[in-house]
Amino acid sequence: MVKHIVTFKLTGTSKERLEVAKSFREALLALPPQIPVLQSMEVGINSNPAEEWDLVLTAIVPTMADVETYAAHPAHVAAAALLKGHKADRACVDYEF
């Protein structure tokens, strides 16, 4: 099994960042039924104003190759497009467990 963890830092005002994060979260949470390799998806929006990162996602897929299958799936590509023009930074860790 592979855990795919991604954090995002968004651009804009606090209100704008929150609205983008909410839209992105909803799109991500809709992915498991659409992408066969995606076994689970958890998405959290940062509620600590002292921190700079806005959102984190944790996805679980069976193999490291499935991370790419998930990333290239049209439903994921459409969800990721919601961040266009709003993403300041991204960090990712994929590990087997």
**Per-residue pLDDT band at 75 (split at 50, 70, 90):** very high
Q: What is the model's pLDDT at position 24?
A: 98
Q: What is the model's pLDDT at position 97?
A: 97
Single pTM value for the model: 0.95
Q: What is the model's pLDDT at position 22?
A: 98
Q: What is the model's pLDDT at position 60?
A: 98
Distances (CA, A) of 29 to 2, 22, 50, 51, 97: 18, 11, 26, 23, 22
